[in-house]
Amino acid sequence: MKRDNFGSKLGVVAAAAGSAIGLGNIWKFPYITGVNGGAAFILVYLLCIFLIGIPVMLSEFALGRKNQVNAVETFKKLKPNSKWHLAGYLSVLTAFIILSFYSMIAGWVFSYILRSITGSFNSIPVEKLSEHFTTLISNPWEPLAFTLLVLVITAIVVFSGIQSGIEKFSKIVMPLLVVLILILMVRSFTLQGAYKGIEFLFKPDFSQLKLKGVLEALGHSFYTLSLGMAIILTYGSYIKKDVNLVSLSIQVALADTLIALMAGMVIFPAVFAYGLEPTYGPGLIFVTLPAVFKSMPFGNFFEFLFFILIAIAAITSTVSLMEAVVAFVSEKFKLTRGKSTVIILVLLYLLAIPSILSLGPLAGFKIGGKVFFDAMDFITSNIFLPIGGIVVCIFVGWIWGADKAVEEITSDGVYNFKFRYIYSILVRYIAPIAILFIFLYSLGIIKI
């Protein structure tokens, strides 16, 4: 079976940036910045993106492009008769589990789009917004329906293939995402008192930054670039030799960072302008922002744009997660793309259901003291992802060899790669040690 490829360089950037830019940028980045004191946290985060994120991304792209197969086969091809391919299985499994609950959160976003259309927030007093959100996510019917919708839209894009599905879709919706975020930024900046939000984002106060914040920045830099779970590797396997992987990685990382910062510039000026708290946490966009939009002229309209923006960001990420799994299943079991997409869609939904119910009727069922959704999130984000990251670094740095990776990164010497020595050191030593550190910390083995 001939493998599909990305057709244009722009398409590759749009698809990879689409994967990277997601709920992590618009939902998570602003609230962890809020909780960790703002600008100082952002500085550390930027360092992590450059020192850890970009080298690992380059390594994954190189692995993928060199072998032109799915994650499991990649390891088998480079190191036959070894156990390294188990890392491939782990990363596909991670993508699968993450997608099962990521699509639930994306489903909440669709619920909010619906509410902004019907204007149903208008009749809810500000102090009841938090309760409204809790009721929405715990009453399972609506989340069950919207999670399915998210998965079906994702499956349609994946089913349509790399060039006419993922690439085409990303090339249309990513520019739209940029336009929407720019409109919202202008709106936020022109609110009275907006400057306090900008100050919060850009004036560092290091006294607010704790070591916990540093580790969170490191963990997030990894997650936001979609690393450690075979996504970038799988996309790499559809990239042609004439793409400069260094520029590609830098462009994707910059786009991702820029959108995260812009999301912050949409959210914080508005939060400060209306005298709300920046430290609300995970409910920031679901509780604090509807409060902002309520007080704003044409609030419903801007609310609609905002949730459409998040929906676009989320779907281009769910597409990449599903693609990593579909690529593996279709190649492993020699199934057509259509069949494997449908099978995975069904299995994913089956795994999403307990996550959805765990916020309502199944709240009493706990795994290690956590409800099902939290348990899935914990296992993937805190255990599987760091393991996946460390394995990629060790495999590329020591087993395949950093020099071989550099050969692939430069397209066999066609492109210049000035930082090759720094890259080797980062990927062999600094990145795996740093990731190991977050890993031990999140398991409570290192205490700070």
263 binds ligand PHE (CB under 6 A): no
358 and 269 in contact (C-beta within 8 Å)? no
List the structure tokens of 8: 């244009």
Q: CB of 197: closest distance to ligand PHE in angstroms?
A: 22
Q: Does 376 bind ligand PHE (CB under 6 A)?
A: no
Of the listed pieces 22-30, 47-55, 153-161, 239-247, which binds ligand PHE according to CB under 6 A? 22-30
In the complex, minimum distance from the CB of residue 344 to ligand PHE, in angstroms, rounded to a whole number: 15
User: Least distance from C-beta 210 to ligand PHE, angstroms?
Assistant: 23
Record the tokens describing residue 164, joined without a space. 């006419």
* CB closer to ligand PHE out of 162 and 194: 162
Amino acid at 104: M
**Residue among 13, 20, 90, 348 that touches ligand PHE (CB under 6 A):** 20
Contacts of 238 (CB under 8 A, 6+ apart): 3, 4, 5, 6, 12, 64, 162
Q: Which residues contact residue 148 at a Cβ distance below 8 angstroms, ignoring those fewer than 6 apart?
A: 107, 349
Please give the span between the terminal C-alpha atoms of the chain, in angstroms, as a whole number: 52
In the complex, the smallest distance separating the C-beta of residue 141 from ligand PHE, rounded to whole angstroms, is 26
Q: How many residues bind ligand PHE (CB under 6 A)?
A: 15
Which of residues 12, 16, 25, 322 is near ligand PHE by CB under 6 A?
25
Is the CB of 155 or the CB of 296 nearer to ligand PHE?
155
Please state, in angstroms and as integers, the Cα–Cα distance from residue 350 to each residue in 35, 96, 343, 356, 381, following that order. 34, 12, 11, 10, 20
Contacting ligand PHE (CB under 6 A), which of 14, 93, 137, 231?
Answer: 231
Site residues for ligand PHE, 308-347, by CB under 6 A, read 317, 320-321
Q: Would you say 194 or 233 has its CB closer to ligand PHE? A: 233
In whole angstroms, how far apart are CA 267 and each of 35, 177, 255, 309?
A: 14, 16, 18, 13
We find the least distance from the C-beta atom of residue 99 to ligand PHE, in angstroms, to be: 8
Helix or strand or coil: residue 366?
strand
**Closer residue to ligand PHE (CB): 111 or 320:** 320
Report the alpha-carbon angle 110-115-121, nearest 5. Answer: 140
Burial class (CB within 10 angstroms; exposed 0-12, middle 13-18, buried 19+) of 220: buried
d(CA 318, CA 19): 8
* C-beta closer to ligand PHE: residue 109 or 402: 109
Position among 11, 18, 22, 290 found at the interface with ligand PHE (CB under 6 A): 22
- 104, with CB counted inside 10 A (0-12, 13-18, 19+), is buried
Contact flags string 134-173 toward ligand PHE, x per CB under 6 A: ----------------------------------------
Cα–Cα distance measured from residue 276 to residue 29, given in angstroms and rounded to the nearest whole number: 18
Applying CB under 6 A, among 67, 224, 234, 300 the residue interacting with ligand PHE is 224
**Binding residue for ligand PHE (CB under 6 A) from 23, 71, 326, 352?**
23
Give the nearest distance from C-beta 15 to ligand PHE in angstroms: 12
Tokens for 32, please give them.
């962890």
Furthest-apart CA atoms within the chain: distance in Å: 65
Q: Which is nearer to ligand PHE, 223 or 400 (CB)?
A: 223
Using DSSP's 3-state secondary structure scheme, residue 367 falls into strand
Contact between 161 and 5 (Cβ < 8 Å): no
Choose the stretch contacting ligand PHE; rule: CB under 6 A; options: 155-163, 167-175, 222-230, 236-244.
222-230
* Cα–Cα nearest to 267, from 106, 34, 109: 34
Instruction: Give the nearest distance from C-beta 44 to ligand PHE in angstroms.
Output: 18
Q: Identify which of residues 296 and 385 has a Cβ nearer to ligand PHE in the complex.
A: 385
Span interacting with ligand PHE, options 8-16, 17-25, 111-119, 158-166, rule CB under 6 A = 17-25
Considering only 36, 147, 226, 340, the residue that binds ligand PHE (CB under 6 A) is 226
- Rounded to whole angstroms, how far apart are CA atoms 376 and 99? 10
294 close to 205: Cβ distance less than 8 angstroms: no
> Nearest Cα to 215, choosing from 439, 444, 424?
439
Residues 52-111 that bind ligand PHE (CB under 6 A): 98
Least distance (Å) from ligand PHE to the CB of residue 31?
13
Between 57 and 231, whose beta carbon lies closer to ligand PHE?
Answer: 231
Nearer to ligand PHE, 226 or 300 (CB): 226
* Interface with ligand PHE, residue 24, by CB under 6 A: yes
SS3 233: helix
Residues that bind ligand PHE (CB under 6 A): 19-20, 22-25, 98, 223-224, 226, 229, 231, 317, 320-321
